[in-house]
């Protein structure tokens, strides 16, 4: 699994962020593979806006010229990290807070600078630093890594 940092225009970024756009068309110049992580950084044509989202590649379509896909390009099926299949090759992945942030209101598990883990809901940034999160009402938490809560399987149920 590799991580790829990529630019994405605002209209496409918003569609991925909202979950409407679940694919990415790209030049096949990075040896994309199923399971890779794409860090899609919003780019307004001149500069980065500061917004980013991490997605996982779930499918790759390539070598399909007879169906209209230009040679040298791929269409990747993508899903927000923590969603999609949870087979061995797509285990939960700790995301650096400096790479991208959760969707506002998303339930996440966080890892602080001293290794402390906590589960809660992302409520936005406090100031301009990407590792200072508003955590609970009037509470700030320093977050180095995070993952969506739904990335973890439910614990096994005891049989009666």
Give the model confidence (pLDDT) of 60-87 as tens digits.
999 999 999 999 999 999 987 644 443 4
- C-alpha 123/C-alpha 93 separation (Å) is 21
CATH number for the segment(s) 1-84: 2.30.130.30
End-to-end Cα, the chain, rounded Å: 40
Locate the domains of the chain by residue range. 1-84, 92-151
The architecture that CATH gives domain 92-151 is Roll (2.30)
24 strand-pairing partners: 76
Give the model confidence (pLDDT) of 14-36 as tens digits.
888 878 899 999 999 999 999 89
The bridge status of strand 23-27 relative to strand 73-80 is antiparallel
- C-alpha 94/C-alpha 96 separation (Å) is 7
Q: Note the pLDDT of residue 90.
A: 45
Domain 1-84 shares a fold with domain 92-151: no
Split at pLDDT 50, 70, 90, the class of 154 is low
Give the model confidence (pLDDT) of 118-136 as tens digits.
888 887 777 667 777 777 6
- C-alpha 29/C-alpha 7 separation (Å) is 14
- DSSP, collapsed to helix, strand or coil, labels residue 150 as helix
pTM of the model as a whole? 0.61
Asked if residue 55 lies in contact with residue 99, where contact means CB atoms within 8 angstroms, the answer is no
Q: How many CA atoms lie within 13 A of 98 on its CB side?
A: 3
Q: Which two tokens stand for residue 123?
A: 């409520």
Q: In terms of pLDDT, which residue wins out, 153 or 140?
A: 140
Phi-psi region of 99 (alpha: psi -120 to 50; beta: other; left: phi over 0): alpha
């Amino acid at each position: 699994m590799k991580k790829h940092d990529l630019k994405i225009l605002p209209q496409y970024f918003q569609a991925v962020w909202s979950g409407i756009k679940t694919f990415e068309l790209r030049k096949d110049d990075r040896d994309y593979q199923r399971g890779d992580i794409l860090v899609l950084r919003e780019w307004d044509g001149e500069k980065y806006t500061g917004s980013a989202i991490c997605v996982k590649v779930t499918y790759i379509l390539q070598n399909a010229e007879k169906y209209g896909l230009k040679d040298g390009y791929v269409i990747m099926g993508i899903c927000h990290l923590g969603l999609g299949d949870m087979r061995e090759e797509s285990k939960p992945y700790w995301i650096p807070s400096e790479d991208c942030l959760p969707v506002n209101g998303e339930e996440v598990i966080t890892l602080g600078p001293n290794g402390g883990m906590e589960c809660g809901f992302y409520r936005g940034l406090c100031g301009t630093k990407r590792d200072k999160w508003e955590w609970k009402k009037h509470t700030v938490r320093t977050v180095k890594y995070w993952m969506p809560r739904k990335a973890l399987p439910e614990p096994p149920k005891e049989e009666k």
